Amino acid sequence: MAKRSPPGPLEYLRRWQMQAWLAAVGVFLYAPLIALMAFSFNDSRRNIVWKGFTLKYYDKAFNDSSLIEAFANSLTIAALCTVLSVALGAMIALVLWRFRFPGKTVLDGALALPIVVPEICMGVAMLVFFAKVMPWPVGLPWPLNLGAITIAHVSFSFPFVAVVVRARMASFNREMEEAARDLGAGEWRTIKDVILPHMAPSLVAGSLLAFTLSLDDFVITFFTAGPDTVTFPVKVYSMVRFSVTPEVNAASTILIVLTVILTAVALKLQGDPAATAGHGGEKA
């Protein structure tokens, strides 16, 4: 390593042109986010010239009850959505992995729909559904008032979980299942003791995916949210429309940090970031 050899023919990463390109892309992707986070600590409302370090906008954000309520709503919805999505996603992944049945191709296609359909189309479908078919009662106690948003989130999250779980089950050795049966385990026992342990890592990955998808969603929530069920992104949206203020920077920084932590945990659990590269690649 001490002596640097000239880059080999395929070591593109060691060419300066490539390094410059990567650096430029890195600046493009990260500079706005880093500026956003840095200026949340800036002691000036103008948000453009550095005037000194302060935490007062975090203090303000934490004392803004509507912001806190929106944040709590978002976390609650994300938690509920995660539980439901993982259960539903794992079940349907198990069915599609294990069985041959008439209509399988159709089911497979239908399950891919929530992933590929443009968000706006799904948003308006949810708006219509909760306005005309199943009006969600107003004034329910928390957290029941979040039901409509949670349902919408589960609808677009659980197919993603199913994709992750199915990818994992592809590496399952079916002989293990047969062995369990041979040794006298019943259906449910086999699922519990043989299949579920193999599935476990993908359940963790899937739950983190569902949690992030739910926490991030703006468009579909925007169409399902009522005046008393504001989520964090919807709240930030109304603040952003108004103007660029340090409070929004502070609130955004908190969410970015939370996302980074969740991503780090997900990658740690999955071991290899390349393994997650393909997942969730279809949805904003």
Partner 1 sequence: MEQSWKQAKSVFAAALSAPLAWLVLFFLIPMAIVWAYSFGHNEGLTQIAITGTFKNYARAIEPLYLKIFLKSAGAAGITTFLCLVIGFPVALAITFASPKAKAWLLLLIMLPFWTNLLIRTYALIAVLRNEGYINKGLEAVWNLAAKVMPLQPFQPLEMMHTNFAVVVGLVYVHLPFMVLPLYSALDRLDKSLLEASLDLGAGHLRTLFKVVVPLALPGIASGVLITFIPALGAYLTPDLLGGPDSQMIANVIERQFKRANDWPFGAALSFLLMYLTFVAIAVQALLSRGKKTGEAV
Residues in region 48-77 near partner 1 by CB under 8 A? 48-49
Q: Which of 3, 4, 132, 268 binds partner 1 (CB under 8 A)?
A: 132
Q: What is the dihedral of CA 133, 129, 77, 268, to 10 degrees?
A: 130
CA 5 to centroid of chain Cα atoms: 43
Peptide bond into 143 cis (omega under 30): yes
Q: Identify residues 140-199 at the interface with partner 1 (CB under 8 A).
A: 151-152, 154-155, 158, 162, 174, 187-188, 191
The reply on whether position 125 binds partner 1 by CB under 8 A is yes
Tell me if 117 contacts partner 1 by CB under 8 A. yes
d(CA 177, CA 195) in angstroms, rounded, equals 7
Single out the segment in contact with partner 1 by CB under 8 A; choices: 12-20, 57-65, 135-143, 196-204. 12-20
Taking CA atoms, 220 is separated from 28, 121, 232, in Å, by 28, 9, 13
User: Which of 18, 138, 140, 179 touches partner 1 by CB under 8 A?
Assistant: 18
Q: Cβ 17 to partner 1, closest distance in Å?
A: 9
- Hey, what are 249's tokens? 């920077």
Whichever of 146 and 215 has its CB closer to partner 1, that residue is 215
| Least spacing, CB of residue 27 vs partner 1, in Å | 11
Instruction: Name residue 53's beta-bridge partners.
Output: 42
Task: Write down the least CB distance from residue 63 to partner 1, Å.
Answer: 21
Binds partner 1 by CB under 8 A, chosen from 94, 165, 203, 225? 94
The window from 22-30, 57-65, 75-83, 138-146 that contacts partner 1 (CB under 8 A) reads 22-30
The answer to whether 89 contacts partner 1 (rule: CB under 8 A) is yes
Query: How many CB atoms neighbour CB 124 within 10 A?
Result: 13
Burial 184-205 (b: 16+ CB within 10 A, else e): ebeeeebbeebbeeebebbbbb
57/74 Cα distance (integer angstroms): 21
Restricted to residues 203-222, the positions that interact with partner 1 (CB under 8 A) are: 212, 215-216, 218-219
Interface with partner 1 (CB under 8 A), residue from 21, 27, 179, 192: 21
Residue with tokens 């709590």: 72
**For residue 264, how many other CB atoms are within 10 A of its CB?**
10
